Amino acid sequence: MPFVLKADEPGVLLGRDEAANPVEHLLHALAACLTTSMVYHAAARGIQIEEAGSWFEGDTDLQGFLGLDKNVRTGCQEIRVNFKIKADVPDERLQEIVGLGTGYSPVFDSLTRGVPVSVSAARL
């Protein structure tokens, strides 16, 4: 079944704020991929995660996006990821569990190691 992902921007950027903006979609993709990778690989190792929650923050300077300052990058300057995990493991294993997510997430790998992107255009 097909689905549609909508994107918008807040009013200050001439949008209607009726959907997530592209950076919010990026953070959601990172959250979903890290969490899925973490839970899957933990389960494969016999670690049961009862519950996982997360929050993600990204810093973007609009001076770069709007072209006001060429010295400011257009993308996020930093992304912070925080997990809360409920699992029957000692505290020192929690970082190991999170490492399963960062070690196997395709989105995390693409963001942190970079990936070539080619862009082209054609007439409609």
Confidence (pTM): 0.89
The CATH code of the domain at 11-111 is 3.30.300.20
Instruction: Return the amino acid letter for 124.
Output: L
> CB of 55 within 8 A of CB of 39?
no
> What pLDDT was estimated at residue 12?
87
User: Taking the domains of the chain in order of start, what are their residue ranges?
Assistant: 11-111
Taking the chain (124 residues) in runs of 10, the rounded mean pLDDT of each run is 92 93 95 97 95 93 94 95 94 92 98 96 97
Please name which of 63, 37, 66, 65 lies closest in space to residue 52, comparing C-alpha atoms.
37
